[in-house]
Amino acid sequence: MNIIEKIIASHSGKETVKPGDIVDIEIDARVARDFGGPNVIKNLEENGLSIDDLSKTFFTFDTNPTGSDQKYAINQQIIRMFARKHGIKVFDINNGIGTHTLIDNGLSWPGSTAVTTDSHANILGAIGAFGQGMGDKDIAVAFHRGKTWFKVPKSVKINFTGELPANVAAKDFILNLLNKFGANSLLGYSVEFYGEPIYKLTLDQRITIASMGTEMGVIILLFPPNDEVMQFCEERTGRKLEKITADESAVYDQEHTIDVSKFVPMVSRPGKPHDSVNIDEERKVKIDSAFVGSCTNGRMEDMREVARVLKGRKVAPGVVLKIVPTTDEIWTQCLEEGIIKIFKDSGALFSNAGCAGCAAGQVGQNGPGEITISTGNRNFPGKQGKGEVYLASPASVAASAVAGYITTDDDIPDEPATFDFAFRADELKLAVEKPKDHADSPLTVKGRAWVIDRDDVDTDMIFHNRYLQITDPEQMGQYIFDNLEGYEDFAKKCKSGDIVILGKNFGSGSSRQQAVDGFKTLGVQAILAESFGAIYERNAINAAFPILTYDKLEAADVKDGDNVEINFQTGELKNISKGRFANIDPFSEVQLEIYQNGGLF
Residue 120 lies in a domain: yes
426 domain residue, yes or no: no
Looking at residue 436, its pLDDT comes to: 39
Query: Could you give the CA distance from residue 444 to residue 264 in angstroms, rounded to a whole number?
Result: 52
Alpha carbon distance 530, 457 (integer Å): 12
Q: Are residues 126 and 17 in the same domain?
A: yes
- Total structural domains within the chain: 3
- Do 146 and 190 belong to one domain? yes
Q: What is the DSSP letter of 96?
A: B
Q: Which domain CATH number covers 290?
A: 3.30.499.10
Query: Are 557 and 471 contained in the same domain?
Result: yes
User: Do 87 and 198 belong together in one domain?
Assistant: yes
Q: Same domain for 244 and 317?
A: no
The pTM of this model reads 0.83
Q: 318 and 193: one domain?
A: no
Instruction: Name residue 116's amino acid.
Output: T
> Would strands 266-268 and 276-278 be described as parallel, antiparallel, or unpaired?
antiparallel
Q: Is 323 inside a domain boundary?
A: yes
In a domain, 438, yes or no: no
* Same-domain status, 89 and 147: yes
Q: What is the structure's pLDDT at 596?
A: 92
Residue 463 sits in a domain of what CATH number?
Answer: 3.20.19.10
For residue 253, being part of any structural domain is answered with yes
In a domain, residue 416? The reply is no
Q: Quote the CA–CA distance of 559 and 546 in Å, as a whole number.
A: 20
Q: Are residues 26 and 107 both part of a single domain?
A: yes
Taking the C-alpha atoms of residue 314 and residue 172, their distance in angstroms, rounded to an integer, is 25
Please tell me whether residue 190 adopts helix, strand or coil conformation: strand
350 and 460 share one domain:
no
Domain limits for position 212: 3-262
Residues of the chain with pLDDT under 70: 360-361, 419-440
Say how far apart CA 80 and CA 40 lie, in whole Å. Answer: 13
Q: Which residues pair with 373 in a beta bridge?
A: 290, 390
Asked whether residue 360 falls in the same domain as residue 471, the answer is no
Q: Domain check: are 464 and 582 in the same one?
A: yes
With respect to residue 430, please indicate whether it lies within any of the assigned structural domains.
no
Q: Which DSSP string do the residues of 209-277 spell out, in sequence order?
A: HHHTHHHHT-SEEE----HHHHHHHHHHHTS--PPP---TT---SEEEEEEGGG---EEEPTT-TT-EE
Contact 454, 501 (CB under 8 A): no
Query: 457 and 380 share a domain?
Result: no
